[in-house]
């Protein structure tokens, strides 16, 4: 639902004092250059008086308006003013640990850090931050923002197409090459939201496209958001940031803001109950999306859930049974006439099938097709596909309309129903095994939820297999011991398990593509833009560092956050880095770190520094999770493997059928 006419008119009035100076100071001085380029393209007849002024002012007004509103699960089917809901979030630079509170966006951050990646988990507010930054940039009259949702990019809609459609939505005949001429002026801030939401089948293609686009338009400022993925290392000159978790005070502030927008006031009761009970839910107060889910579920049963999975269960029940908070007790009839259980059966099917292809946004025909396929697998259920689709976006608003497209209200909702599908399937053990073997990162959040839903199976299949692999790997490494402590050797083995790390000393910057080709040749693996990434280090001497992370390594991060007793207790010692040790490395040769004692990275004097470099490369969210906190401990893994094998043996010996 778009903002109403009154809001649009009010925003247009508010926006004008910002838009005029942006146009006059940033755009207008370059009009002669643009008109000269257009004239050379024989399109001069299309340029009318005030053409650029009208086009840019209209664009800025539109993007400003769009950035001021958000759709939430708490208040579905309505646009909520962002400024009435936003609790200022803080981003933290991963290496320097510098904090930047995003209340009024500090534009000088680009002077210090250049291009930025904000990488964090589901629900931490990445998309919200980009909307806030977009509005703030316009209000500060600093730049012309372009906000692109990467889930919309596919083989039929390139990044250039998306920008063209935003700036020039009507005049389709106008030359798209003009966009590059505009971007070459360098006064844009390009915000790329949801790298992890690019459809799986297009990820490699779009990653290469993004890399090329950023290189061609490098005069501009860039921010990319994503869930943590090694693919982000593709953008080697981007600085990594993460979002600082909410404090309890900030979480309570968000609850109060939600309460102010609700006609039924119970926010203070929720806050009091959290404080009085000291419940495990406090762990989830750090995540803005989970705070909103907590508020939503509390509207339904006035109880505090203790697990993440329970959040989603209760929110679904709330959306299905008590959709309209403004009308106490009002239940909107379902057009599909399905009850809550049968409706969920179809939702699970849709979620699982769409998760496999890695898509969260669809055309109406695509989604109808998914509904039809799900219906065909449940012969006893009678309903019309269009009525079910209507329910999805109105009476049970799990989905939201976005122009002509329809999307999941939040990707984690899709993950939840996909996890429920797996958990309730007769072949769930086989499905979990195949997902694990696939190595695809887009299943990470589903696996996280399955940890709660199917802990015993998760332990039997995934934890069991990972620690088996680690034990085998550990026992094959450093059969000839270097003259360093066992502690350093254990660190190195644990760091390299499930990942590869390379060092390439260079005389000058050679670019990501060439560095990647050298790395992949050294690794003797297929060139894969999704798993390999290089970072160029402006040091003396200059070098690239590279890593490839397996799904195993990503799952270890989840297990560490779950407090599984599998990890090394000690953290690596602080170190100034490896630059001072690079004299022993040859220029232009990619060193893949392994247990070869003849190589410079295993020199006694360099061993500790190399450990630190690998640890920093693998995981740098040092404030929340120490850089080596997800490195496995060999002896703990031995003990855990023994316990799991005993559990499997006991389960196989239980007589399930006695006394039936």
3-state secondary structure 156-193: CECHHHHHHHHHCCCCCCCCCHHHHHHHCCCCEEEEEE
DSSP state of 218: T
Q: How confident is the model at residue 383 (pLDDT cuts 50, 70, 90)?
A: very high
Per-residue confidence (pLDDT) for residue 37, from 0 to 100: 66
Tens of pLDDT, residue by residue over 44-73, are 445 455 666 777 888 888 999 999 998 887
Q: How confident is the model at residue 563 (pLDDT cuts 50, 70, 90)?
A: confident
Per-residue confidence (pLDDT) for residue 171, from 0 to 100: 53
Average pLDDT of the chain, as a whole number: 84
Among 75-84, 441-450, 569-578, which is the least confidently predicted range?
Answer: 569-578
Among 210-219, 263-272, 293-302, which is the least confidently predicted range?
Answer: 293-302
Report whether pLDDT(25) > 80: yes
Provide the 10 A C-beta neighbour count for residue 276.
Answer: 8
| CA pair distance 342, 364, nearest whole angstrom | 22
Helices 267-277 and 288-301: angle between axes, nearest 10 degrees: 100
541 preceded by cis ω (within 30°)?
Answer: yes
Q: How confident is the model at residue 239 (pLDDT cuts 50, 70, 90)?
A: confident
Per-residue confidence (pLDDT) for residue 507, from 0 to 100: 92
Q: How confident is the model at residue 626 (pLDDT cuts 50, 70, 90)?
A: very low
Per-residue confidence (pLDDT) for residue 604, from 0 to 100: 94
Six-digit token pair at 559? 């297990």
Tens of pLDDT, residue by residue over 148-184, are 999 888 878 888 888 888 877 545 545 667 778 888 8
Mean predicted confidence (pLDDT) in 387-406: 88
Six-digit token pair at 321? 């049974």
Tens of pLDDT, residue by residue over 117-156, are 998 877 889 999 999 999 999 999 989 999 999 988 887 8
Per-residue confidence (pLDDT) for residue 419, from 0 to 100: 98
Provide the 10 A C-beta neighbour count for residue 65.
Answer: 19
Higher pLDDT, 327 or 646: 646
Q: How confident is the model at residue 278 (pLDDT cuts 50, 70, 90)?
A: low
Q: Give the C-alpha distances (Å, rounded to integers) separating 36 from 16, 40, 42, 163.
A: 28, 6, 10, 22
Handedness of CA 473, 474, 476, 481 (dihedral sign): positive
Per-residue confidence (pLDDT) for residue 32, from 0 to 100: 72
Helix (H) or strand (E) holding 582: none
Tens of pLDDT, residue by residue over 183-237, are 888 899 999 998 888 877 777 788 888 888 988 898 999 999 987 765 555 676 7
pTM, to two decimals: 0.77
| CA pair distance 644, 463, nearest whole angstrom | 9
Among 427-441, 447-461, 499-513, 638-652, which is the least confidently predicted range?
Answer: 499-513
């Amino acid at each position: 639902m778009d903002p109403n006419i009154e809001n649009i008119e009010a925003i247009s009035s508010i926006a004008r004092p910002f838009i005029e100076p942006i146009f006059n100071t940033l755009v207008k001085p370059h009009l002669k250059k643009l008109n000269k380029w257009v004239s050379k393209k024989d399109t001069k007849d299309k340029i009318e008086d005030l053409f650029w002024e009208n086009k840019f002012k209209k664009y800025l007004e539109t993007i400003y308006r769009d950035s001021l509103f958000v759709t939430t699960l708490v208040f579905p089917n309505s646009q909520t003013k962002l400024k009435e809901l936003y609790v200022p979030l803080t981003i933290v630079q991963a290496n320097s640990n510098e904090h930047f509170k995003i209340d009024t966006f500090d534009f000088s951050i680009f002077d210090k850090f250049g291009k930025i990646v904000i990488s964090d988990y589901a629900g931490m507010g990445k998309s919200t931050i980009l909307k806030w930054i977009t509005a703030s940039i316009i209000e500060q009259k600093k730049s012309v923002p372009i906000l692109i949702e990467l889930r919309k990019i596919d083989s039929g809609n390139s990044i250039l197409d998306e920008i063209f459609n935003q700036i020039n939505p009507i005049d389709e005949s106008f030359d798209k090459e003009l966009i590059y001429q505009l971007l070459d002026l360098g006064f844009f801030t390009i915000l790329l939201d949801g790298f992890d939401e690019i459809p799986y089948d297009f990820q490699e293609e779009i990653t290469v496209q993004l890399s090329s686009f950023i290189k061609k338009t490098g005069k501009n400022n860039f921010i990319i958001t994503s869930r943590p993925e090694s693919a982000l290392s593709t953008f080697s000159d981007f600085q990594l940031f993460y979002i600082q978790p909410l404090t309890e005070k900030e979480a309570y502030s968000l609850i109060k803001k939600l309460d102010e927008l609700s006609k039924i006031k119970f926010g203070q009761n929720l806050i009091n109950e959290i404080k009085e009970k000291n419940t495990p839910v406090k762990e989830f107060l750090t995540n803005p999306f989970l705070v909103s889910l907590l508020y939503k579920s509390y509207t339904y049963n006035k109880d505090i859930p203790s697990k993440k999975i329970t959040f989603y269960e209760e929110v679904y029940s709330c959306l299905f049974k008590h959709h309209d908070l403004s009308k106490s007790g009002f239940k909107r009839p379902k057009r599909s006439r399905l009850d809550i259980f049968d409706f969920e059966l179809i939702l699970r099917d849709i979620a699982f099938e769409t998760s496999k292809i890695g898509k969260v946004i669809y055309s109406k025909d695509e989604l109808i097709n998914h509904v039809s396929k799900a219906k065909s697998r449940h012969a006893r259920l009678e309903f019309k596909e269009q009525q079910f689709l209507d329910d999805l976006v109105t009476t049970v608003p799990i989905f939201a309309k976005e122009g002509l497209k329809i999307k999941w209200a939040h990707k984690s909702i899709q993950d939840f129903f996909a996890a429920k599908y797996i958990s309730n399937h007769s072949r769930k053990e086989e499905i979990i095994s195949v997902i694990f073997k696939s190595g695809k990162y887009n299943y990470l959040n589903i696996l996280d939820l399955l940890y709660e839903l199917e802990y015993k199976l998760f332990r039997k299949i995934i934890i069991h297999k990972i620690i088996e692999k680690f034990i085998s790997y550990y026992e094959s490494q450093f059969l000839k011991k270097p003259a360093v402590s066992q502690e350093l050797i254990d660190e190195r083995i644990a760091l390299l398990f499930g990942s590869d790390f390379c060092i390439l000393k260079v005389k000058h910057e050679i670019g990501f593509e060439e560095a990647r080709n050298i790395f992949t040749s050294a690794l003797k693996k297929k060139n894969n833009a999704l798993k390999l990434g290089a970072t160029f280090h402006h040091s003396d001497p200059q070098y690239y560092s590279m890593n490839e992370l397996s799904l195993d390594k990503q799952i270890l991060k989840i297990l560490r956050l779950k407090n599984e007793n599998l990890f090394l207790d000690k953290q690596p010692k602080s170190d100034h880095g490896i630059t001072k040790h690079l004299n022993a490395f040859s220029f232009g040769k990619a060193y893949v770190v392994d247990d070869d004692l003849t190589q410079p990275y295993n020199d006694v004097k360099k061993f500790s520094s190399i450990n630190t470099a690998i640890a920093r490369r693998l995981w740098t969210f040092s404030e929340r999770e120490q850089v080596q906190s997800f490195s496995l401990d060999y002896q703990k893994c031995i003990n855990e493997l023994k316990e799991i094998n005993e559990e499997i043996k006991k389960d196989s010996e239980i007589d399930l059928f006695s006394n039936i």
